Structure 1
């Protein structure tokens, strides 16, 4: 095979201040700072217009974070209700599809196979209370690139997300699962 290393477009550093200095945009639905090339304005606006999203500093929802505070992108983490976590999964799949349809670069959180598998598993967890604050978000600074093309062109994806980072710094977790 010829070299198939897709170009790295950009990344937003490792702090909100650095992200702002690089003209990155904060995606509330993804709890991530992304370069302008990977920011889907239409989907972000759709998410940001919703008045129902909730955020908390703890897993019982008793220390609320205002939407305005969350939108600033300065919080290292936040807890959200299960239903909001699932809505995030649905929106990320739309973002993935739109990036492919319009041949746009994609952040490595959206394109991660591990994240897709995580969402697919969670979408059928009907035993969980949609209003339970059981999902912790971590602030992310993903890479923006075209590596999603490599997976399509060169034989699929690995469980590691085809070279994309999916480590502890890029995870959200379901902390309390009632079974």
Structure 2
């Protein structure tokens, strides 16, 4: 009769089915004994060793979570903020005249009528707000400017009506430039309000420097009622709601102390 290995049942085994069944039944106790042995060995391990292994596993999982969060935060910052707007970046000086500001690479903002360095310029939001003003005006002029005004050339031509205005003789600054007011309508003011609020929010989220105009609580307190009143009184578009604007150079990169002074000034004047 052919012989085969006792632990390997293969087609070469011509033993009867009863013999095969008997062989399998004989193996079961040994396998069960090995399983009990493994279990008993595990239970006999020192508890300190088991706890140490669990602690190492927990630390490893925690490290993975921290690493994943760090990578996500870095990706988010790199996707929403350009290097020029870092928290510790030095602020470009725009000078005290439009010529100096333009030469320094600063940008004129037609909503605040201020010159801003690159560190306080949100070009994407500014472009969206300009488009919004264009849509609201629907071909009407948003500004009335004197032809000799220093900021007239920085305003959109199709939003500006050039008209001569009376010029007081004493309305001249230290550089000899005539600071004639530019008149803006109420729609310009409303868009400027929404632009300022968004600019502050975006700067805070992206850790960009805050500027003196958009973070002003005085502006915020003025914008709130005006935006609400817009929907109650259509007469707000009349000439008595036109606003006079002058070119200035808002501070960029406010400190905590600057914001506190801003708050106290508003509270003292309330």
Note whether the superposition's TM-score is higher than 0.5.
yes
Shift of 1:148: 5.6
**Do the aligned partners of 1:31 and 1:139 also contact (CA within 8 Å) in 2?**
yes
Shift of 1:98: 0.5
Which residue, 96, 108, 125 being the options, matches 2:200?
Answer: 96
Following superposition, which runs of at least 4 residues in structure 1 exceed 6 angstroms of deviation?
none
Structure exhibiting the larger radius of gyration computed from Cα positions: 2
RMSD in angstroms over aligned alpha carbons? 3.5
Q: Take 1:112 and 1:103, find their aligned partners in 2: how far apart are those partners?
A: 17
Q: Take 2:206 and 2:213, find their aligned partners in 1: how far apart are those partners?
A: 18
Shift of 1:161: 6.3
Which residue, 1, 8, 19 being the options, matches 2:101?
Answer: 19
**Which residue of the partner structure matches residue 253 of structure 2?**
145
What SS does the corresponding residue of 1:14 show, helix, strand or coil? coil
Could you say which structure has the greater relative contact order, defined with CA pairs below 8 angstroms and 6 or more residues apart?
1
Shift of 1:9: 2.9
What SS does the corresponding residue of 1:123 show, helix, strand or coil? helix
Aligned pair 1:57/2:161, yes or no? no
What SS does the corresponding residue of 2:115 show, helix, strand or coil? strand
Which residue, 236, 243, 248 being the options, matches 1:135?
Answer: 243
- The two structures have a TM-score, normalised by structure 1, of 0.66
Q: Take 1:36 and 1:161, find their aligned partners in 2: how far apart are those partners?
A: 28
Shift of 1:79: 0.9
> What 5-or-longer segments of structure 2 have no aligned partner?
1-87, 157-176
**Which residue of the partner structure matches residue 161 of structure 2?**
none
* Higher share of residues assigned strand: 1
